[in-house]
Amino acid sequence: MRIGIVCPYSFDVAGGVQNHTRDLAHQLHTRGHHVAVLAPAAETTPHTRNFTSAGSSRAIPYNGSIARLAFGPAVANRVTTWLENGRFDILHIHEPLVPSTSILALRAARTPIVATFHTNLERSLAIQAVSPLVRSSLEKIHGRIAVSQAARQTALNHMGIDSVIIPNGVDTHTFATATPNPTWTGTPNHPTIAFLGRIDEPRKGLPVLADALPHLLKHHPGLRLLIAGHGDIPTARNLIPTSARHAAHFLGAIPETDKAALLRSVDAYIAPHTGGESFGIVLVEAMSAGAPVIASNLTPFTHVLGDAGITFPTGNSHALAQALTNLLHNPKLREKLHLAGLARAATYDWRHVSDDILAVYETVLEGTRATPLTNTATALWATLKATLTP
């Protein structure tokens, strides 16, 4: 099968959709498919097998973060050329309404299309405004996937289209077999906990964890907080109360191999995010590495964790401190969460996730072979709903 995958966000920066695109392409390639990827990126940076840059990107504020997107006539020409040269059997577009390569590919494509929705937005006037303008393009999508119930609801509320739920995938083996880093490994008297995320985005919750740190040190004076992620470290350090700064260690942005080692090394992973999350891929990565997880009780996080993690009221630093203190004082609870997390993470392994995505591809292709493309979308949606549990 010749498969084209389009990502709207620049591959020059780390991000959940970029990682999903890269990992899915790898999984499909290992199964013998020809896979090509299109996304914004610097011209000279290799990113993945059969990768094509759609051009340089611009930073645009979006959903409490900064999205790096590519648009304009030159980008549109690159998208069209890539589609023509690719001769794809199926085109998989991530975030089809994002004003970047995705919406350009959606409008230009003349091949069966599968789209994946990643975003969780309670209300977006921008999407509501643009939705009627691209209605004809949306009708070209034959297979619709959402990575979570939150993403599914966002697409339904803003665009009136439903999707089957296929979660983000994780290479669980990579995290389960990573070698712990001795400098990050804790001891009973000096436990280590980890925060992963952009340190300059308040929605990632570092201020919540920072407020909890003095309370944690009262019970665990030897505790170390390891903070990994992009952002200005001096500014982020000022978030930490002065009395607790000695316990906060900023690692900066770390590569994927170091992320796996970090999660394998620590006594707990903390996800204090305050909103804007659709799934929570790092929770699955932490569980894959065997790290007990404490997370804010955002709906996407509770769906991912099930009974395999501990949640606390979003934004409540006191509740976070209590939950973590209890966990660190309770070795049996840590072992219970370790085992439950490994079992839970296995359900998100890329082997299972890619099986489900391929099933969508095959259903779409079977339908489009039998019926002209312009008439298949509605009928295919009924077939997909019967095939995969939404």
Question: Structurally, how many domains does the chain consist of?
Answer: 2
Q: Are residues 182 and 254 in the same domain?
A: yes
Q: Are residues 204 and 270 in the same domain?
A: yes
The whole-number pLDDT of residue 160 equals 84
Beta strand pairing call for 58-62 and 65-69 = antiparallel
Q: Are residues 144 and 213 in the same domain?
A: no
The whole-number pLDDT of residue 42 equals 86
- Is it the case that residue 133 has pLDDT exceeding 80? no
Task: Give 3-state DSSP helix, strand, coil % of the chain, rounded to 5.
Answer: 45, 20, 35
Q: Are residues 132 and 224 in the same domain?
A: no
Q: Are residues 254 and 336 in the same domain?
A: yes
Instruction: Read off the CATH number of the domain in which 278 is found.
Output: 3.40.50.2000
Domain residue limits at 294: 172-346
Q: Does pTM top 0.85 for this prediction?
A: yes
What's the pLDDT band for 375 if we cut at 50, 70, 90?
very low
Task: Round to whole Å and give the CA distance between 23 and 170.
Answer: 8
In whole numbers, what is the pLDDT of the chain averaged over residues?
91
The whole-number pLDDT of residue 120 equals 85
Rounded mean pLDDT of 343-367? 96
What's the pLDDT band for 384 if we cut at 50, 70, 90?
low
Q: Are residues 122 and 143 in the same domain?
A: yes
The whole-number pLDDT of residue 376 equals 47
Q: Are residues 22 and 165 in the same domain?
A: yes
Q: Are residues 323 and 224 in the same domain?
A: yes
Task: Round to whole Å and give the CA distance between 127 and 181.
Answer: 44
* Between 132 and 160, the higher pLDDT residue: 160
Each residue's pLDDT tens digit, 185-206: 999 999 999 999 999 999 999 9
The whole-number pLDDT of residue 19 equals 92
Kindly give, in sequence order, each residue whose CB lies less than 8 Å from that of residue 35, ignoring residues fewer than 6 positions away.
Answer: 3, 4, 5, 25, 28, 29, 49, 50
Q: Are residues 117 and 176 in the same domain?
A: no
Q: Are residues 330 and 368 in the same domain?
A: no
Q: What percent of the chain is predicted at pLDDT more than 70?
A: 89
304 is written with which tokens? Answer: 């991912």
- Is it the case that residue 59 has pLDDT exceeding 90? no
Q: Which of 389, 388, 338 is nearest to 361 (CA)?
A: 388
- Is it the case that residue 228 has pLDDT exceeding 60? yes
Q: Are residues 268 and 374 in the same domain?
A: no
Each residue's pLDDT tens digit, 84-126: 999 999 999 999 988 899 999 999 999 999 999 998 876 655 5
Task: Round to whole Å and give the CA distance between 86 and 290.
Answer: 41
Q: Are residues 283 and 368 in the same domain?
A: no
